[in-house]
Amino acid sequence: MKYLIKVPATSANLGPGFDTLGICWDLFLKIYVDLNSNEKVVINKNKQEIKKNDLFIQALNYTLEYLNIPNKFYKIELDSEIPIGKGLGSSAAAILGGISTAEIISTKKVDKIEKIKIALNFENHIDNLSACLEGGVVTCLKNENELSFTRLPIKCDIYGVIYIPTYTIATESARKILPLNYPKEDVIFNLQKLSFLITGLVKGDEDLIDMGMEDKIHQPYRFNLIKEYTLISELLNGKFKKKVVLSGAGPSLLTITLSYQKALEILKNLENNLRNEIEGTFRILKLNNKGIEIESL
């Protein structure tokens, strides 16, 4: 038996939804699983063996042990479109990809909350994990007593125009620069903006979305790490009245629109005006409503 698992990229936070919101994109880690193999091997698309400390292999082995599955042979090939360390949920995709692969090898089903609990052994970002698993736009809840997530009832298409720099920023480094305490006014600001963002996403109202995509909890501190932010923000705000947010902890920068034509116009404008000033790449992403997909080959 052969299978293809498609695990999507995600963007967490979307501005005011710090550790709360996640969106799923049509950019994938593809996992080809062959259960007819007479060996146990995990390789990349260049046929190089994946190291044992890779998050995918760690999650795969942990889940197989968790499910009490004895040694089985398999050949797995990984082909990822998701850039690593750019704020697009590459770690969440690798972890959930390993868990989903273990499901196929074991033929046992693991429910969604159980998958999240397993995944939290490897990273603590439930916003990326839940969006990757569920698809669409997800709001999540995690504290000492509760673990849950729910998908927003979105009916419209959503497009992200994203700038992906050439450099990376470790999430933990981006988290360390955040303050331990915040003024009450900043917390209220974020709550108000988040309510407008969620309402705009559900209603398909781009004006409300733009009103909501601002933050005072994490972005003012993290934008200082991203040298291209001012150039991109000023261009988009001046010409399109669009807000720019971090994708996760960055360094990728994101703006959202409900029209593909508008996304294309924004993309071309950014490329034409900034191609000689910055070194990264721009691309258009589309909302993925399916989350992780598994198909027989």
Give the pLDDT confidence score for residue 133 in this predicted structure.
Answer: 98
pLDDT at 173: 82
Using the Cα atoms of residue 181, residue 182, residue 187 and residue 193 in order, give the sign of their dihedral: negative
pLDDT of residue 86: 96
Residue 131 assigned ligand-binding role = no
Q: How many Cβ atoms from other residues are within 10 Å of residue 269's Cβ?
A: 16
DSSP 3-state assignment of 8? strand
Is 100 known as a binding-site position? no
List, in order, residues 6 or more apart from 37 with CB less than 8 Å away: 73, 74, 75
Q: What pLDDT does residue 38 have? A: 87
Given CA atoms 60, 61, 63, 64 in this order, what sign does their dihedral have? positive
Check whether 93 is labelled as a binding-site residue: yes
87 in a known ligand binding site: yes
Q: What angle do CA 169, 172, 173 make, to 5 degrees?
A: 55
DSSP annotation of 48: P
Domains in the chain, CATH or no CATH each: 2-152+288-296 (3.30.230.10), 159-286 (3.30.70.890)
Residue 10 φ/ψ, nearest 5 degrees = -145, 155
Instruction: Point out the residues of the chain with pLDDT beneath 70.
Output: none
Q: Known binder of ligand: residue 238?
A: no
| Sheet of 159-164, strands arranged across | 245-246, 253-257, 159-164, 281-286
Is position 99 annotated in a ligand binding site? no
The rounded Cα 256 to chain-centroid distance in angstroms is 14
Query: Phi then psi for 40, rounded to 5 degrees?
Result: -115, 110
What does the pLDDT look like over 53-74, one tens digit per residue?
A: 899 999 999 999 999 998 889 9
Whole-angstrom CA distances from 212 to 4, 16, 159, 182 are 37, 7, 16, 19
85 in a labelled binding site: yes
Residue 188: what residue type? Answer: I
Which residue has 């996304």 as its token pair? Answer: 263
Residue 90 counted as an annotated binding residue: yes
Q: What is the pLDDT of residue 154?
A: 96
Give 110's contacts (C-beta < 8 A, 6+ positions apart).
63, 67, 99, 103, 118
83 is in an annotated binding site: yes
Tokens of 166: 């050439």
Neighbours of 111 (CB within 10 A): 8
Other residues' Cβ atoms within 10 Å of the Cβ of residue 44: 14
What is the per-residue pLDDT for 180?
94
Q: Which residues contact 33 (CB under 8 A, 6 or more apart)?
A: 2, 3, 4, 5, 74, 75, 76, 101, 104, 105
Within 28-151, residue ranges assigned H as helices are 55-66, 90-106, 112-119, 126-134
Give 3-state DSSP helix, strand, coil % of the chain, rounded to 5: 40, 25, 35
| Residues in Cβ contact with 290 at an 8 Å cutoff, skipping those fewer than 6 apart | 8, 135
| Displacement of CA 277 from its chain's centroid (Å) | 27
Check the annotation: does 258 bind a ligand.
no
Are the CB atoms for 4 and 30 separated by under 8 Å?
yes
Q: What is the pTM of this model?
A: 0.95
Residue 97 assigned ligand-binding role: no
| pLDDT reported for residue 60 | 97
